[in-house]
Amino acid sequence: MDFTNEELKSLFDRTISALTSEAETSEELIRIWINIGMKLGIEYYFPHLKVIVHSEEEGQRREILALIGSASEEVVEYLSSEETMNDEVVEKILGDIEKRKGEVH
């Protein structure tokens, strides 16, 4: 069965919507997003990926602060280090997350 470009786009959009609605947390959504990227070959461009997650207390909602990707493992380690991802940077990111609450992308 041959599909038109419009039918393929519609199928893709429905599939992505279904996957998105199944994700209960932002972490699950990012995991889905990364897995789709891996299937599309993103690791060729960004073989080193790291997701930075923040939670203040055990059991509390976790926030994704950053997704860092690079061809260089050293760059990923530097950008995700406690020295670089210090309290000031974390607070800036958390503040921006709070500002964006309610926005849907």
pLDDT tens digit sequence for 4-30: 999 999 998 999 899 888 888 888 888
Give 91's Cβ-side CA count (13 Å radius). Answer: 3
pLDDT of residue 49: 94
pTM for the model stands at 0.72
Give 9's Cβ-side CA count (13 Å radius). Answer: 3
Are 104 and 63 contained in the same domain? yes
Are 9 and 32 contained in the same domain? yes
AA identity, residue 47: P
Closest CA to 80 of 91, 71, 67: 67
Are 2 and 31 contained in the same domain? yes
Are 16 and 53 contained in the same domain? no
Are 57 and 98 contained in the same domain? yes
| First and final C-alpha spacing in the chain | 33
Domain that holds residue 100: 46-105
Are 38 and 57 contained in the same domain? no
Burial of 44: CB neighbours in 10 Å, binned 0-12, 13-18, 19+: exposed
Are 34 and 65 contained in the same domain? no
